[in-house]
Structure 1
Amino acid sequence: MDERYDGTSRRRLLQAGALGAGAVIAPGVLSAGKAAADSTAAATTTRADTEHPRFTLAVVPDTQYLFDLDRGDATPLIASFEYLIDQQSAENIVFTAHLGDVVENALASEFAQADPVFTVLDRARMPYSVLAGNHDVDASKDDTRGDSAYLRTFGPQRFRRMSTYGGSTQNGYNSYHVFRAAGRQWLLLAMDWRPSDASFAWARGVIAAHPRLPAILTTHELVNADHGNPVAYFTDHGNRVWDQLVEDNDQIFLTLNGHFWPPGRVVRKNAAGNDVHLHLTNYQDRYYGGSAMIRLYHFDLARNTIDVETIAPWILDQDPARRSELAEGEIELTDDTNRFSVPIDFDQRFAGFAPIPVRPARPAKQLVVPGTAAYWRFDGPLSDQVTDHSGQGNHLTRVLLSEDGISASAEYHPDQPGHASWLFAGGKKPARGGYLRTADNAPLNAMTFSKGYTIEAFVKLTDDGADHAWQGLLSRMGTGADAGKTGSDPSEPVVNLAFSGGRQLQWAVYPLDRNDTFTNWGHERVAGQWFHLAVVNDGRHSTLYVDSSPLLRNPATPSNGLATAGKPWLVAANHYDNVIEQAFAGHIGELRIVTRALKPSQFLNA
């Protein structure tokens, strides 16, 4: 096993030139033409972003009719490869996998035609894998068959120069690659049409040698599908693959195979009880031998989704005015079998072999930045007083509106410094639950924040129901009238950070420089999900953030400071006309108030 890879992909110089339709490629012709073009054409360097959470795996199924004695045409596959090269940066294409049946008759002359076409990818330094299908080799034998034209063309010697190449079986017919994408490494196995028991053992060893890598299995035959029923089913050989390799290896979450048509897919639970997505893709039965149609698997780890599309770059690039009627229908396949999304919670799916490390708790003293006016953490046992870690003496006292209105919880936001929270069981009509308040003489009560402020909190709302409409997370006792403000509704609190009936975040305050309320609005939040929120004012404008992302409805009108009537602050409650009508319903992890504008890189969740 040749252990040669660094897990990074490289980019290519865009290459000029293409062969005409119907051309039969002689060995070396394409290489010479491309080399000449490279020496004269202006080069553009592209590169895949291996850290971005969205990346693309390109899949090329059976191309055998394009290399069929003197009946083939390599032009569609050249177009597909050049499309992948041209789109590498835009689509963040990190790897390309061919699913076998490169040629029709396993002849050396056919592989001589295919060889320079794949050199398009070689020269561009686009990593890829190729495996043997039944039309590439003697289909009556397993991978101990010995030498073949396939092996001389697509054996280990072709892939050793790739940075992703990890090694091959001793017989050369099975290989693996490790590529980097979305900030992590991924394992891809390219298995022969008929692996021997020894090759299955080799594959299990590869997986064991990379115990934390999610794995994609590519092979030529595994599942089949029938016309009119896109739900795939296992072949006898597919069951052998499942039994020997997939079922007991939780790292394999996706399998890709060709050989049969039409396309289909199915999900099966492995021994660990996790989903394995098994996809069949093959278009050789369609116009022009499938037109070198490709599948693009767009992984999006931020959205926990794989978006799949199927396109024919060769047809897409044709002049629409000259495109044939049959070609028109093949530009892109948009039915549910060929264009779909696969929801996968990647962190959860990979937790059994690559759990996300828990971010260590951080001591409160590390988060007391210059200007911290108050910093409350709810990571200790339930008590009547919550310490202000800022050192400014703005401690909180617990107030119960009903029995068991506040309880300690082990839940917390994954980026929260303190690893716990308090659960507030608030409600209204009548007011119930509990809240916290500063002392009557707390220094925070008199502060006006004329030079700016940042208010942060880790929150999880408990319920979507209207029973908690307009619940307050942070408020200041005292009304607009108490602070000498007569605009709008002077009975409103001078400061109110709350959630509307639609769970939209609202920051409604009386600034120092205005006689009326000033309101920032956020979008609707989902109950049961932790999030970090922040209100930042730089002395002139206020901006709401959720999970460090600025929101839309932030007023352009200047706003300076916060009016005060010198009364206490409330955590987990608000008031109207100095009457507390309800308490907050949900978890609060911690809350910090700073007397200046912080950047998102300085937030508690950074």
Structure 2
Amino acid sequence: MCTSHDHAQGEAAQAGAGRRGFLRATALLGAAATTGIVLPAVAEAAEQSVRRPDSESRRFTLAVMPDTQYLFDGPSINPAPVEASLRYLLEHGGKGDENIVFLSHLGDLTQNGAEEEFAAIGEAFGILDRRGVGYSVLAGNHDVRSSTDDQRGPTPYLDAFGPRRFRSRPTFGGASPDGYNTYHLFRAAGREWMVLALDWRLSQRGYAWAKDVLARHPKTPVVLTTHELVAEDDSLSAYGQQLWDGLIEDHDQIFLALGGHFWPAGRAIRENAAGHEVHLHLTNYQNRYFGGAAMIRLYRFDLDRGVIDVETVSPWILGRAAEGLNELERQEIELSGDADRFSVGIDFAERFSGFDPVPARPARPASKMLIPGTVAYWRFDGHDAGTAVTGTVRDLSGRGNDLTVVSVGGGTLAWSADHHPDQPGHGSLEFDGYKSPLKGAWLRTVDAAPLNSATFEGGYTIEAFYRLPADWDAGHNAWSGLISRTGRNGSVGPVTDDPDEPLATLSISDGPGPQWAAHPLNQRQLATNWGDETAREKWWHLAVVNDGRHTTMYVQGCPVARNPHPAAVGIASAGLPWLLGGYEYAGKIDQILHGRLGDVRIVSRALPVTSFMTH
């Protein structure tokens, strides 16, 4: 399946465009905060604009809000920055924008843990409550008596943000009996994710509860949030280390853990008991202008690119830009330091494989691959891996295009169990070609094979799976053929290019990358399609599709850039065999594949991407 991959730079630009669209509402809100103007209509408009996130998109955002305590401090309560950030989430939560799926607050909502402070911030979070948006909060040391743990009993924090506030929320999973620890489940990228929000200090009961929650959701990846975790770059606080030792290290589901409390922002990485990396981040901006101005950190997950792109922004200051920012605001509108704007590379499938492995796609019967127009289909499963290929490799289409082994320099060809994850047959051929001195083995169609004379005037689709090893070297292995047609280019008439090239070859260039060069019936030269470089030690699917007029090469179902525009009809033939793993020049074997070749299919018509063997 072809997937569109945007670069981080483009993603940031997209986010910037979204923020510009938000300025009008937040600018007025910012003005209201500084002038005392009440603008309920604007607030309602911002809240009414909420768009539901796309739970199937493989790109989504988790928003994080750290310590807001200085905005809710006794007589100097100022909810405007928090309200602007929350409305930003509503404005940008939907499909096609940030796709924000959840918000996590990291504690120290208030300065003194007083009732009036919690009443104010509780009212601000009503913006999300009224729209049913999922979020989590947790108690920091300023929200409760810092000398206590989660068994402290009733508090103004619990009155404002206890479990009963979240019970009607679809993302709310449950709370510990004391009410200070909660877990939340949301759907993104087509699967379930958890935010495990833990109190400022866990008791033994709190640890037991958290372990039970994880045990009841054994296949769910978890973002752990707490108030204190990382103290500075590469360093956990004493309590953070306790949390690591007592919970995080032995629970592979926790791949990301976030905390506040200290400043400046920092990061640490630890290896858990399963041998996987856990990313631990410190996020806190209360020491910056306007108590941090309710900055939010956006964790943009992209499962196709295998990355989390992180950005830190203050929607409240962004919204004030229309008025003209003061000197300090200009420094805080967005943070671009290494600890504030960065990317975290994660191979999500590999990282989650220990607790939720992706089931292997089962092999599909050869009969399912014999679609109308199939003229040849070869697959290489059902053999003992490592043993030599001998005798005849049958054409499963029943058309008689069987293959026999040819070798030079004592080379051999072996069976392998390795295969592309979407390949119909669970096996491949192991070629070990070498240029100088020439050594290796390859396959050729039998002399009576109908394929040898086929010219495909009505179009064709040629598909193959391949994988190059780490030691593939351009000096010895470049320009070997995956599939090629023998016969000199100049043997079918006068040509304007090299007459000694073969009539058709799907080769691996010195990139390494795929190249299709074929002599069409309506031209006097080879027409060439060039693919981009393809990584070693990874399986790739190739398809060359001719619709009777033009030829297009696809890699992993995606069209390459360098597909020629001139009309190309069919493939010229000298009535000679096709080769798998071999390449001839001037009528003699010149290069042999060094790598693995999986299923190969040739169909005498153009196929859509949805009919490729990967589907």
Please give the range of the TM-score, normalised by the shorter of the 2 chains: over 0.9
For 2:498 and 2:584, locate their aligned partners in 1 and report how far apart those are by CA, in whole Å. Answer: 13
Aligned residues: 583
> Residue 193 of structure 1 corresponds to which residue in structure 2?
200
Unaligned segments of structure 2, at least 5 residues: 1-21, 384-388
> Residue 280 of structure 1 corresponds to which residue in structure 2?
282
> Residue 483 of structure 2 corresponds to which residue in structure 1?
474
Give the Å deviation of 1:347: 1.4
> Residue 348 of structure 1 corresponds to which residue in structure 2?
350
Q: How does 1:152-551 map to 2 (within 5 A)?
A: 152-225=159-232, 231-319=233-321, 322-381=324-383, 382-462=389-469, 463-551=472-560
> Residue 76 of structure 2 corresponds to which residue in structure 1?
71
Confirm or deny: 8 A CA contact 1:485 1:510 kept in the other structure. no
Residue type at the aligned position of 1:159: F
> Residue 604 of structure 2 corresponds to which residue in structure 1?
595
> Residue 110 of structure 1 corresponds to which residue in structure 2?
117
Give the Å deviation of 1:486: 2.2
One of 579, 602, 606 as aligned partner of 2:588? 579
Confirm or deny: 8 A CA contact 2:230 2:240 kept in the other structure. yes
Pair 1:179–1:485, CA change in 2 (3 A): farther
> Residue 47 of structure 1 corresponds to which residue in structure 2?
52
Confirm or deny: 8 A CA contact 1:217 1:252 kept in the other structure. yes
One of 85, 93, 102 as aligned partner of 2:90? 85
For 1:23 and 1:524, locate their aligned partners in 2 and report how far apart those are by CA, in whole Å. Answer: 55
Give the Å deviation of 1:45: 5.5
Say which SS state the counterpart of residue 490 (structure 2) adopts.
Answer: coil
For 2:117 and 2:98, locate their aligned partners in 1 and report how far apart those are by CA, in whole Å. Answer: 31
For 2:371 and 2:595, locate their aligned partners in 1 and report how far apart those are by CA, in whole Å. Answer: 27
For 2:543 and 2:433, locate their aligned partners in 1 and report how far apart those are by CA, in whole Å. Answer: 22
Confirm or deny: 8 A CA contact 1:16 1:37 kept in the other structure. no
For 2:516 and 2:98, locate their aligned partners in 1 and report how far apart those are by CA, in whole Å. Answer: 39
For 2:304 and 2:167, locate their aligned partners in 1 and report how far apart those are by CA, in whole Å. Answer: 33
For 1:321 and 1:314, locate their aligned partners in 2 and report how far apart those are by CA, in whole Å. Answer: 12
One of 529, 554, 565 as aligned partner of 2:574? 565
Say which SS state the counterpart of residue 591 (structure 2) adopts.
Answer: coil
Say which SS state the counterpart of residue 544 (structure 1) adopts.
Answer: strand
Give the Å deviation of 1:23: 4.8
Q: TM-score, normalised by structure 1?
A: 0.92
Residues 280-289 or 415-424, more deviating: 415-424
Q: Does 1:134 find its partner at 2:141?
A: yes
For 2:341 and 2:325, locate their aligned partners in 1 and report how far apart those are by CA, in whole Å. Answer: 23
For 1:125 and 1:165, locate their aligned partners in 2 and report how far apart those are by CA, in whole Å. Answer: 11
For 1:430 and 1:404, locate their aligned partners in 2 and report how far apart those are by CA, in whole Å. Answer: 11
For 1:342 and 1:214, locate their aligned partners in 2 and report how far apart those are by CA, in whole Å. Answer: 16
Give the Å deviation of 1:49: 1.6
For 1:327 and 1:43, locate their aligned partners in 2 and report how far apart those are by CA, in whole Å. Answer: 28
Give the Å deviation of 1:558: 1.3
Say which SS state the counterpart of residue 56 (structure 1) adopts.
Answer: strand
For 2:428 and 2:34, locate their aligned partners in 1 and report how far apart those are by CA, in whole Å. Answer: 69
Residue type at the aligned position of 1:483: V
Say which SS state the counterpart of residue 482 (structure 2) adopts.
Answer: strand
One of 143, 147, 150 as aligned partner of 2:154? 147
Give the Å deviation of 1:20: 4.9
Pair 1:52–1:485, CA change in 2 (3 A): farther
Confirm or deny: 8 A CA contact 1:24 1:74 kept in the other structure. no
Q: Does 1:97 find its partner at 2:104?
A: yes
> Residue 19 of structure 2 corresponds to which residue in structure 1?
none
Give the Å deviation of 1:68: 0.9
Pair 1:271–1:93, CA change in 2 (3 A): same
For 1:586 and 1:476, locate their aligned partners in 2 and report how far apart those are by CA, in whole Å. Answer: 19
Pair 1:161–1:42, CA change in 2 (3 A): closer
Confirm or deny: 8 A CA contact 2:519 2:525 kept in the other structure. yes
Give the Å deviation of 1:173: 0.8
Give the Å deviation of 1:35: 11
> Residue 126 of structure 2 corresponds to which residue in structure 1?
119
Give the Å deviation of 1:321: 6.5
Pair 1:492–1:465, CA change in 2 (3 A): closer
Residue type at the aligned position of 1:177: H
Residue type at the aligned position of 2:270: R
Confirm or deny: 8 A CA contact 1:131 1:191 kept in the other structure. yes
Say which SS state the counterpart of residue 90 (structure 2) adopts.
Answer: helix
Say which SS state the counterpart of residue 553 (structure 1) adopts.
Answer: coil
For 1:51 and 1:398, locate their aligned partners in 2 and report how far apart those are by CA, in whole Å. Answer: 47
Unaligned segments of structure 1, at least 5 residues: 1-13, 226-230
Confirm or deny: 8 A CA contact 2:478 2:509 kept in the other structure. yes
The CA deviation string for residues 266-287 of structure 1, in whole angstroms up to 9 with x for no partner, is 1112222221111110000001
Residues 17-26 or 269-278, more deviating: 17-26
Confirm or deny: 8 A CA contact 1:22 1:72 kept in the other structure. no
Residue type at the aligned position of 1:316: L
For 2:474 and 2:454, locate their aligned partners in 1 and report how far apart those are by CA, in whole Å. Answer: 35
> Residue 8 of structure 1 corresponds to which residue in structure 2?
none
For 1:251 and 1:563, locate their aligned partners in 2 and report how far apart those are by CA, in whole Å. Answer: 57
Residue type at the aligned position of 1:91: E
Residue type at the aligned position of 1:70: P
Confirm or deny: 8 A CA contact 1:379 1:589 kept in the other structure. no
Confirm or deny: 8 A CA contact 1:412 1:421 kept in the other structure. yes
For 1:431 and 1:320, locate their aligned partners in 2 and report how far apart those are by CA, in whole Å. Answer: 71
Residues 523-532 or 206-215, more deviating: 523-532
Identity of aligned residues (%): 52
Give the Å deviation of 1:244: 2.0
For 1:269 and 1:61, locate their aligned partners in 2 and report how far apart those are by CA, in whole Å. Answer: 25
Confirm or deny: 8 A CA contact 2:520 2:527 kept in the other structure. yes
Q: TM-score, normalised by structure 2?
A: 0.91
Pair 1:431–1:404, CA change in 2 (3 A): closer
Pair 1:580–1:539, CA change in 2 (3 A): same
For 1:318 and 1:37, locate their aligned partners in 2 and report how far apart those are by CA, in whole Å. Answer: 18
For 1:511 and 1:554, locate their aligned partners in 2 and report how far apart those are by CA, in whole Å. Answer: 14
For 2:68 and 2:308, locate their aligned partners in 1 and report how far apart those are by CA, in whole Å. Answer: 24
Confirm or deny: 8 A CA contact 2:47 2:87 kept in the other structure. no
